[in-house]
Amino acid sequence: MSDLSAFPITKKWPATQPDRLQLYSLPTPNGVKVSIMLEEIGLPYEVHKVSFETNDQTTPEFLSLNPNNKIPAILDPDGPGGKPLALFESGAILVYLAEKTGKLIPQDAAGRYEALQWVMFQMGGVGPMFGQLGFFHKFAGEDFEDKRPRDRYVAESKRLLGVLDMHLKGRAWMVGDAYGIADIAIFPWVRNPVGFYGAGELVGFAQFKEVARVLETFVARPAVVRGLDIPKR
């Protein structure tokens, strides 16, 4: 049995199955990327809920794993060289899990870099811009009479959706016909404006038919259905 006692996070969230990968998360767009990935690849894991309501993410135990106090984070008892590996940042975790298992990432170098560029596109563009859209539209819209900040992120969200829509024409998934980490990175975030943020009309989502097509296929996958509800709210 693996000994994870050297990691302070296990004091607050004890590992009842220490031989399994430990996931510290919430069902947010970034959080479900990793739970969906784990469900897709079938790697056994144990999930721990990091509650924002009680500021779990700012506790010393969580900060010992992720000093940036964001979810998700993982602790893999069977990391490189058979040693435990602590890892944060959802994009890095997706790449790590894909390379660890040899699943959901192209095996040829060109395909791998094509997948990675779209993961980076999500990390640097889709996530931050859609997140700001949600902040100004859903959470803080009534507090700001000046709508220019909101409109800035509406415009940028539309632009990014347009990039995706053009790219997806003639493709089943982000990297051709192969479903993989680029889709797992992007589509939990695409789901948010039309769902949780209630901003579908604001960004004109109906005009992005290719994005809507792939999103519908994505959310119908059994592993995605399971992963979107982990950990349970």
One digit per residue, the tens of pLDDT, for the chain of length 233 reads 688 999 999 999 999 999 999 999 999 999 999 999 999 999 999 999 999 999 999 999 999 999 999 999 999 999 999 999 999 999 999 999 999 999 999 999 999 999 999 999 999 999 999 999 999 998 876 677 788 889 999 999 999 999 999 999 999 999 999 999 999 999 999 999 999 999 999 999 999 999 999 999 999 999 999 999 999 87
- Cα-based angle 220, 224, 229 (whole degrees, multiple of 5): 115
Which residue is it, tokens 């959310």?
219
Residue at 57: amino acid letter: Q
CATH architecture of 109-221: Up-down Bundle (1.20)
CATH of domain 9-104: 3.40.30.10
Domain residue ranges of the chain, discontinuous segments joined by +: 9-104, 109-221
Structure tokens at 73: 């984070």
pTM: 0.96
Spatial separation of the C-alpha atoms in residues 121 and 124, rounded to whole Å = 5
Residues 61 and 11 sit within 8 Å (Cβ to Cβ): yes
> CA dist 31 to 44, 48, 145, Å?
17, 11, 32
Alpha helices in 142-180, H assignment, sequence order: 148-168
